[in-house]
């Protein structure tokens, strides 16, 4: 038995040593040859080719492929293969024919992995004996071009609804007796015309009021014959015109020479006024009368049917019809609000005096001056706490300055008032800036399909490594992130075309052009753009270790540029 054990041990050592000695004959193919990070993940596809008569029948090989970098390592799952006479669950490699073994795995990326090696220590085991068969460098790593996403999400601000010029009117009324067109002295001295005269004088003196025109609108009540009422309404137009013309001249508004300034409008039977007053009245049978108006368009039939409702008609004669015997004297105006220059000045000096739409406009007039916008919008939120637009716009301004916690508080407050798609988009922008891509996507999916939303979803898809989806969301815009998505999807020429439409002085634009140059072997394109890119300290540091430029690491010009 002792002799047999020794024989087995020697046999095991011999098999393992043989495999160690011939380990160089094993071929490893790794895709990609230099590891890359996409969507925050470093993935490797590895195929191992074992030659004929290499893999001993009683041996098991195991390994835990690892990405090693300065200060740490990240392990993939343990893998194994076995010989034909091993009882186990690993893939069997025949001794005579040899065979292949493939595996795919991934590890999460961290920036330290940009300078790393993908290695595997191959451990052979036979019975109780073990031996390190080989230490294999499978690949270098990691190309981290996908980490160059410029996280600059687009925010959305709610527009103000400020209207500088609004239409308005002031008016007074002359009331007439039944079937009469004379203007009584009591009407000339009455409260309605006196108030009109006062309002006209005030309008004349107000520099923010533009007087457009004047109108006399004369009516007859819808009782009696239509022909008679037509003549009566016309006479009331004439008498109203005389009164109004006199008052307009005395107010120095109209001297009677401008033909189209004073307009004369006549309504023989004021059925619209009748209907409105009936709706507002408390007359017992008003619903029945309103149905009559709806059923019978003919004025004579209407009058007859209404008179048939005897009890109601008595109330109509007392409460409704007298109010329809009138001439309305109207002065049409334009009210002129603050100019943009005035709003902008007040926004800077005293935003609390501005009305809601004015203060929102004031903030928009300071585009490019985010500090001023924040000051104005903080005042708006204080003065108008129930306005979601002010809170949303303030959050957008906070996001531009990196005040993420303040932005989140403002957006949360805005959403409590109205969870508008703009708010959802800005939440998405907030989460992108915080690095929470999953929450960003969730918010953006609820934000509709505005261009800003789609752009931000393009950022999300780029950061997830879904470049075709990203380009679909980006659409036809020219942007450095669009160029990056094209570059990451191996569309080098398309990426360069996009980059050529952007500012040549932009450091990131220049850096990506240099990457395209390196991929194409165009050193002039690399060097000319790297000289611009390295003005950015972070990009300069990145270039020194970026494996996109690995073929140039020993090039004197490259070294001079990045040192």
Per-residue three-class SS string for 342-385:
HHHHHHHHCHHHCCHHHHHHHHHCCCCCHHHHHHHHHHHHHHCC
Give Cβ neighbours of residue 228 (< 8 Å, ≥ 6 apart): 179
Q: Is 490 helix (H, G, I), strand (E, B) or coil?
A: coil
Same domain, 509 and 521: yes
Contact 193, 174 (CB under 8 A): yes
In a domain, 154, yes or no: no
Considering 477, 493, 511, which residue would you say is the last residue of a domain? 477
What is the 8-class DSSP label of residue 155? P
- CATH number, domain of 200, equals 3.30.1330.60
Q: What is the spatial distance between Cα 536 and Cα 484, in angstroms, rounded to a whole number?
A: 18
What is the chain's pLDDT, residue by residue, as a tens digit (563 residues)? 343 344 444 455 799 999 999 999 999 999 999 999 999 999 999 999 999 999 999 999 999 999 999 999 999 999 999 999 999 999 999 999 999 999 999 999 999 999 999 999 999 999 999 999 999 999 998 999 999 999 999 999 999 999 999 999 999 999 999 999 999 999 999 999 999 999 999 999 999 999 999 999 999 999 888 999 999 999 999 999 999 999 999 999 998 887 789 999 999 999 999 999 999 999 888 898 899 888 999 888 988 888 888 678 888 989 999 999 999 999 999 999 999 999 999 999 999 999 999 999 999 999 999 999 999 999 999 999 999 999 999 999 999 999 999 999 999 999 999 999 999 999 999 999 999 999 999 999 999 999 999 999 999 999 999 999 999 999 999 999 999 999 999 999 999 999 999 999 999 999 999 999 999 999 999 999 999 999 999 999 999 999 999 999 999 999 999 99
In a domain, 398, yes or no: yes
Cα dihedral 291, 295, 300, 305 sign:
negative
Domain range enclosing 515: 503-563
In a domain, 534, yes or no: yes
Contact 177, 228 (CB under 8 A): no
Same domain, 272 and 212: yes
pLDDT value of residue 114: 96
- CATH number, domain of 405, equals 1.25.40.10
Q: Hey, what's the torsion of the CAs at 125, 127, 130, 135, to 10 degrees?
A: -10
Q: What is the spatial distance between Cα 360 and Cα 390, in angstroms, rounded to a whole number?
A: 7
Q: What is the spatial distance between Cα 198 and Cα 473, in angstroms, rounded to a whole number?
A: 61
Same domain, 364 and 397: yes
Considering 316, 336, 356, which residue would you say is the last residue of a domain? 336
pLDDT value of residue 219: 96
In a domain, 157, yes or no: no
**481 φ/ψ angles, rounded to the nearest 5 degrees:** -70, -30
In a domain, 41, yes or no: yes
pLDDT value of residue 257: 82
What token pair was written down for 337?
């609000």
How many domains does the structure of the chain reveal? Answer: 4
> Does the bond joining 275 to the residue before it have cis omega, within 30 degrees of 0?
no
Same domain, 193 and 56: no
Alpha carbon of residue 35 to chain centroid: 35
- Token pair 């990196």 is found at 402
What token pair was written down for 259?
């033909």
The β-bridge partners of 219 are: 267
Same domain, 327 and 353: no
pTM: 0.83
- CATH number, domain of 114, equals 2.60.40
Contact 241, 262 (CB under 8 A): yes
- Token pair 């003065």 is found at 383
In a domain, 63, yes or no: yes
pLDDT value of residue 300: 86
Query: Number of helices and strands (H, E) in the chain?
Result: 24, 15
Same domain, 121 and 263: no
Same domain, 348 and 414: yes
Give the H/E segment covering residue 273. helix 271-280
What is the 8-class DSSP label of residue 232? H
Same domain, 195 and 300: yes
Give Cβ neighbours of residue 7 (< 8 Å, ≥ 6 apart): none
pLDDT value of residue 306: 84
Each as own residue / partner, the long-range contacts of residues 291-299 (CB below 8 Å, 24 or more positions apart, any chain) are 299/222, 299/226, 299/269, 299/271
Length of the chain: 563
Q: What is the spatial distance between Cα 557 and Cα 550, in angstroms, rounded to a whole number?
A: 14
Same domain, 348 and 302: no
Q: What is the spatial distance between Cα 500 and Cα 418, in angstroms, rounded to a whole number?
A: 42
Same domain, 118 and 235: no
Q: What is the spatial distance between Cα 172 and Cα 193, in angstroms, rounded to a whole number?
A: 5
What is the 8-class DSSP label of residue 88? S
pLDDT value of residue 12: 53
Same domain, 106 and 45: yes
Considering 336, 362, 382, which residue would you say is the last residue of a domain? 336
What token pair was written down for 80?
């194994």
Contact 84, 56 (CB under 8 A): no
Same domain, 347 and 418: yes
pLDDT value of residue 7: 40
- Given the DSSP bridges, would you call strands 66-69 and 72-75 parallel, antiparallel or unpaired? antiparallel
In a domain, 498, yes or no: no
In a domain, 496, yes or no: no
pLDDT value of residue 102: 97
């Amino acid at each position: 038995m002792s002799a047999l054990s020794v024989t087995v041990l020697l046999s095991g050592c011999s098999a393992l040593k043989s495999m160690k000695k011939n380990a160089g004959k094993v071929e490893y193919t790794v895709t990609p040859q230099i590891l890359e990070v996409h969507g925050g993940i470093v993935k490797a596809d590895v195929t191992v080719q074992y030659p004929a008569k290499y893999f001993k029948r009683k041996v098991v090989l195991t390994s835990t492929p690892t990405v090693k970098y300065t200060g740490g390592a990240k392990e993939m799952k343990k893998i194994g293969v076995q010989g034909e006479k091993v009882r186990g669950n690993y893939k069997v490699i025949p001794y005579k024919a040899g065979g292949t073994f493939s595996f795919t795995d991934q590890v999460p990326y961290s920036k330290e992995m940009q300078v790393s090696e993908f290695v595997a220590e191959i451990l052979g085991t036979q019975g109780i004996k073990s031996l390190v068969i080989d230490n294999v460098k499978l690949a270098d790593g990691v190309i981290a071009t996908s980490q160059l996403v410029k996280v600059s999400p687009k925010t959305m601000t709610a527009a103000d609804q400020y209207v500088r010029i609004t239409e308005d009117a002031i008016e007074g009324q002359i009331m007439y007796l039944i079937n009469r067109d004379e203007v009584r002295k009591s009407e000339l001295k009455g409260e309605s015309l006196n108030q009109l005269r006062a309002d006209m004088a005030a309008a004349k003196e107000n520099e923010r009021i533009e007087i457009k025109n004047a109108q006399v609108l004369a009516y007859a009540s819808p009782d009696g014959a239509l022909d008679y009422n037509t003549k009566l309404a016309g006479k009331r137009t004439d008498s109203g015109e005389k009164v109004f013309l006199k008052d307009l001249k005395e107010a120095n508004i109209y001297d009677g020479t401008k033909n189209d300034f004073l307009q004369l409008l006549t309504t023989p039977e004021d059925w619209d006024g009748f209907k409105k007053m009936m709706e507002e009245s408390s007359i017992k049978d008003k619903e029945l009368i309103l149905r009559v108006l709806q059923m019978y368009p003919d004025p004579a039939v209407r009058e007859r049917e209404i008179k048939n409702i005897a009890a109601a008609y008595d109330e109509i004669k007392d409460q409704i019809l007298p109010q329809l015997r009138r001439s309305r004297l109207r002065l049409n105006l334009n009210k002129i609000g603050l100019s943009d220059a005035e709003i902008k000045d007040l926004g800077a000096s005293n935003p609390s005096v501005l009305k809601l739409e004015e203060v929102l406009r004031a903030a928009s007039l300071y585009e490019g001056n985010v500090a001023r916008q924040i000051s104005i919008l903080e005042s708006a939120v204080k003065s108008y706490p129930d306005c979601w637009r002010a809170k949303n716009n303030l959050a957008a301004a906070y996001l531009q300055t990196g005040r993420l916690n303040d932005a989140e508080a403002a957006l949360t407050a805005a959403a409590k008032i109205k969870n508008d798609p703009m708010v959802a988009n800005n939440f998405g922008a907030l989460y992108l800036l915080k690095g929470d891509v999953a929450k960003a996507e969730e918010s953006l999916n609820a934000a509709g399909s505005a261009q800003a939303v789609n752009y931000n979803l393009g950022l999300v898809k780029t950061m997830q490594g879904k470049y075709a989806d990203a380009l679909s969301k980006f659409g036809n815009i020219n942007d450095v992130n669009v160029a990056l998505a094209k570059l990451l999807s191996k569309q080098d020429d398309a990426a360069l075309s996009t980059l050529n439409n952007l500012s040549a002085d932009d450091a990131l634009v220049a850096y990506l052009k240099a990457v395209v140059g390196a991929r194409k072997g165009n050193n002039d394109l690399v060097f000319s753009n790297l000289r611009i890119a390295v003005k950015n300290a972070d990009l300069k540091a990145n270039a020194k270790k970026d494996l996109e430029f690995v073929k140039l690491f020993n090039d004197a010009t490259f070294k001079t540029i990045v040192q």
